[in-house]
Structure 1
Amino acid sequence: MQRQDWAAVDDHLARALLPADEVLEQVLEENRAAGLPPIDVSPLQGAFLTLLARITGARRVLEIGTLGGYSTIHLARGLGDGGRLVSLEFEPRHAEVARRNVERAGLTGVVDVRVGAALDTLPVLEREGAGPFDLVFIDADKGGYPQYLQWAVRLSRPGAVLVGDNVVRGGRLVDPAADDPGVRGVRTFLDAVGAHPRLTATALQTVGAKGWDGFAIALVD
């Protein structure tokens, strides 16, 4: 099968399983119109995030990497009553688009989008007592994944779930010639997850409209 077949299967699954959602379609259109890179999670992956938040009973969620807020909205929709989501975004323009999208989704009172380098913002969250978090979704610059992991564990309660997106990198994860910062960051991240005494983890490869990639998922002990 080729990539176009993966995308066709994604489309079929989405039509079969996901209800039409005008808000989410508008969010993606807003992101395109604003010139944001088309690297949002797929609709099926977004629905997985919603289900994961619901399955875990999450009431406090941390997202590292907002982009235009598409994954943010999916996560926020899975929160329990009184739940809160903090999303960290480096690019002010992306955060501005995300805030508009969150407002469009009726989630302004639930989602807090913060602008700045995550490694500057995460210590602020700790000082504020924003955690402990029940679910952490890491989907930002891959070179920063190892440090984001340290903070994710530090700010999470026992029993929390951590998800790291884009960890297969189109197979470059195992390509010895691939030595860019993103691949190096993901390799170090995965090694750190596997060696961490408080984490029990696995990883799944995915194919679909987003190509060949995958995510790591870990339970904090």
Structure 2
Amino acid sequence: MQSADTWDQVDRYITERLIPQDPVLEQALASNRQAKLPSYDVTPAQGKLLQLLVQMHGSRRILEIGTLGGYSTIWMARALPRDGQLVTLELDPVHARVAKANLSLAGLEERVELRVGNALDQLAEMEREGVEPFDFIFIDADKPNNPGYLQWALRFSRPGTVIFGDNVIRDGEILQEDSTDLRVQGVRTFYDLLAAEPRITASAIQTVGSKGYDGFVLGIVTS
């Protein structure tokens, strides 16, 4: 069995071979560290995967639930066409200020709308505003609320919308039915909803790397 050190080395190998150095993205990560944001950012390889998925899908409108410092936001927004839009939701005003500065550095202010406040409240407000459906939805916020985020994602979807959920393996703890960890229970309910929902077809992939043992869910809305 390979060690976590090997996973980390392989992640660096992939990044060095396939992902060119990018001063803007590197500065975004540095700014996040300087502001003492949690180290929850996707890896460069995961960011590039998100970007490729957006490009492959031809997405024009993206919803991101959970901005943090905007690192994943930059990856996805760069894949949008010139007239595309990304709406990203962040609870913490400090995180949002860092993200806004990072997005400005990347020259993406006009393409990205950053909304600050409780994501469930923001989603309800967006519905009242009559916001149009999205083509790609990335769920990467507090895991206890994952079931609610999925329900809202479906309301903001149309046939063909891609829904991508991160951190859905949690070191294998999703197998623990009696877990007292609300994050684990939130992810388990997320799976239950996906399994019972006829409007979406989905699968999940386990991953290892510099962020440890985790994984993601990828689904497509069918009706």
Q: Per-residue deviation at 1:176?
A: 4.4
Q: Which residue of 1 aligns with 2:56?
A: 55
Provide the secondary structure at the position in 2 that maps to 1:37.
coil
Q: Which amino acid aligns with 1:61?
A: I
TM-score w.r.t. the length of structure 2 is 0.97
RMSD: 0.9
User: Does the aligned pair in 2 maintain the 1:52–1:78 contact within 8 Å?
Assistant: no
Aligned twin of 1:204: 205
Per the alignment, residue 21 of structure 2 pairs with 20
In structure 2, what is the equivalent of residue 179 of structure 1? 180
Counterpart of 2:72 in structure 1 is: 71
State the one-letter code of the partner of 2:200: L
Report the number of matched residues: 221
Q: Which residue of 1 aligns with 2:10?
A: 9
Return the offset for 1:143: 0.2
Q: Distance in 2 between matches of 1:208 and 1:178?
A: 24
* Distance in structure 2 (CA, Å) of the matches to 1:89 and 1:55: 26
CA distances 1:38-81 after superposition (whole Å, capped 9, x unpaired): 11000000000111111111111000000000011111011123
Alignment of 1:8-157 (within 5 A): 8-157=9-158
| 2:167 equivalent in structure 1 | 166
| Deviations 1:146-191, CA, capped at 9 Å, x for gaps | 0000000000111000011000011111134532100000000011
Give ranges in structure 2 of 5+ residues lacking alignment: none
> Structure 1 regions of 5+ residues with no counterpart?
none
Paired-residue identity, %: 54
Q: Provide the TM-score with structure 1 as the length reference.
A: 0.98
